[in-house]
Structure 1
Amino acid sequence: MLQIHNLNVSYGSIHAVRNLSLEVQKGEAVALIGANGAGKTTTVNALSGVISSKGSIQYEGKEINGMAPHKVVKEGIIMVPEGRRIFPKLSVVNNLIMGAYARKVSKKELHQEIEKIYELFPRLEERRQQMAGTLSGGEQQMLAIGRALMAKPKLLILDEPSMGLAPIVVKSIFSTVNKIKQEGLTILLIEQNASMALSVADRGYILENGEIHLQDTAKNLREKDVVKKAYLG
């Protein structure tokens, strides 16, 4: 579904991403793991069209490198950005409605889809009329994922979903991500929390200083000593 080949991104004299290649097959969850500053978010920003890059980004056989961000979204690539970026002055339900803004959907279908999000995240139903800016960090992350799902993504990109959240909340978020994966949605997961990321991923890539240092099945990566020492404690 997604093939990135020899991706390079520079900020002036800083070469942030170097000759990065990765692929995501339809229906699988792939983790891109690395420490803060490794180049993870730069990679997904290039994929989303937010920043310019050199190299090839092919999605469903089409070259999308250089495509405008709104056109990337229309292709079915939807990102839950680092920091969540929900609409703080809109209610929970209106944030979810905003997720479907680019689609033609009847009121009945919209209501049914919102109910499905509430099934995934019961806390959001409890808070449905609450202003999103007053939610806890974990609830805002649930809302950001729910809003992205309302766009009916073909490829869902989750950028640092565990950032700033308590361990018990992280566990809940990843449990839901696993449910979404089991329903067949293709996921690219960008994470520092290697343990949680590899618990739901099929395959993983380890990114260090803008370069891929390791790639393997999630199971094999969890068993490698270098990964255990650097990322799994």
Structure 2
Amino acid sequence: MLHIENLSVSYGSIHAVRKLSLQVEEGEVVTLIGSNGAGKTTTVNAICGTIPSKGTIHYRGKNMSGLPTHQIVREGIVMVPEGRRVFPKLTVVQNLMMGAYTRKASPLELQKDIEAIYQLFPRLLERKAQLAGTMSGGEQQMLAIGRAIMSKPKLLILDEPSMGLAPIVVKDIFDTIQKIKQQGITILLIEQNATKALSVADRGYVLENGEISFHDTAENLRSQDRIKKAYLGH
């Protein structure tokens, strides 16, 4: 589905990502793990067209390099950004409707989709009239994911979904990621919490200093001593 070859991103003389190559096949959860500053968010920003890059990005056989972000969203790639970035002065329902802005759908269809989001996140139903800016961090993360799903993504990119959340909320978020996968949505998961990421992923890439240092199945990565020592707290 997503095939990236020799992706490079520089900020002046700083090489944030160097000749990165990765693949995400349809139906997979693939995680990109690494420490803070390794280049994870830079990588997904390049995929989504928000920063310039070199190399090739093919999605479903189409070259996406150089396409504007709104066109990339219409092609089916949708990102939940780091830090959630909900619209704070809009209600939960209004935020969810914003997620569907690229779609041509009837009000009845949109309402059915919103009801499906409430099934996934019952807390959002309780908060549907509340301003997003007054919600907790965990609730905002649920809303950000729900808003992205309203775009009907084929590839959902989650950038640091556990950042700043309490452990019990992190568990709920990762349980939801598994439910989203069961709905047939392919996921590229960017995460510092390698233990959680590898628990839901099919495959993983380890990014260090802007370069891929390891790539294997999630199960094999969990068993490698270097990965355990560096990222899994063993």
Kindly state the Cα deviation for residue 213 of structure 1 after the two structures are TM-superposed. Answer: 0.3
The answer for the alignment partner of 2:57 in structure 1 is: 57
Q: Does 1:167 align with 2:167?
A: yes
Determine the C-alpha separation between the residues in 2 that align with 1:149 and 1:157.
11
CA deviations over 1:167-194 (Å, ceiling 9, x no partner): 1100100000111012211000000000
One-letter code aligned to 1:27: G
The answer for the alignment partner of 2:27 in structure 1 is: 27
The root-mean-square deviation of aligned C-alpha atoms, in Å, is 0.5
Kindly state the Cα deviation for residue 122 of structure 1 after the two structures are TM-superposed. Answer: 0.4
Determine the C-alpha separation between the residues in 1 that align with 2:65 and 2:196.
30
The answer for the alignment partner of 2:15 in structure 1 is: 15
The answer for the alignment partner of 1:153 in structure 2 is: 153
SS at match of 2:172: helix
Determine the C-alpha separation between the residues in 1 that align with 2:43 and 2:102.
25
SS at match of 1:42: helix
Q: Does 1:82 align with 2:79?
A: no
Determine the C-alpha separation between the residues in 2 that align with 1:182 and 1:198.
17
One-letter code aligned to 1:66: G
SS at match of 2:38: coil
Kindly state the Cα deviation for residue 73 of structure 1 after the two structures are TM-superposed. Answer: 0.7
The answer for the alignment partner of 2:66 in structure 1 is: 66
One-letter code aligned to 2:69: P
One-letter code aligned to 1:44: V
Determine the C-alpha separation between the residues in 1 that align with 2:106 and 2:178.
29
One-letter code aligned to 1:200: V
The answer for the alignment partner of 2:137 in structure 1 is: 137
The answer for the alignment partner of 1:229 in structure 2 is: 229
One-letter code aligned to 2:186: T
One-letter code aligned to 1:222: R
SS at match of 1:27: coil
Determine the C-alpha separation between the residues in 2 that align with 1:59 and 1:25.
10
The answer for the alignment partner of 1:100 in structure 2 is: 100
How many residue pairs were aligned? 233
SS at match of 2:207: strand
Determine the C-alpha separation between the residues in 1 that align with 2:25 and 2:228.
26
Determine the C-alpha separation between the residues in 1 that align with 2:49 and 2:37.
20
SS at match of 1:123: helix
**Please, which runs of 5 or more residues in structure 1 have no aligned partner?**
none
One-letter code aligned to 1:58: H
Determine the C-alpha separation between the residues in 1 that align with 2:90 and 2:195.
34
Determine the C-alpha separation between the residues in 2 that align with 1:222 and 1:87.
37
SS at match of 1:45: helix
**Please, which runs of 5 or more residues in structure 2 have no aligned partner?**
none
TM-score of the two chains, using structure 2 as the length reference: 0.99
CA deviations over 1:59-84 (Å, ceiling 9, x no partner): 01111111111111111100000011
SS at match of 2:148: helix
Query: Quick one: percent identity of the two aligned structures?
Result: 73
TM-score of the two chains, using structure 1 as the length reference: 0.99
Determine the C-alpha separation between the residues in 1 that align with 2:87 and 2:96.
10
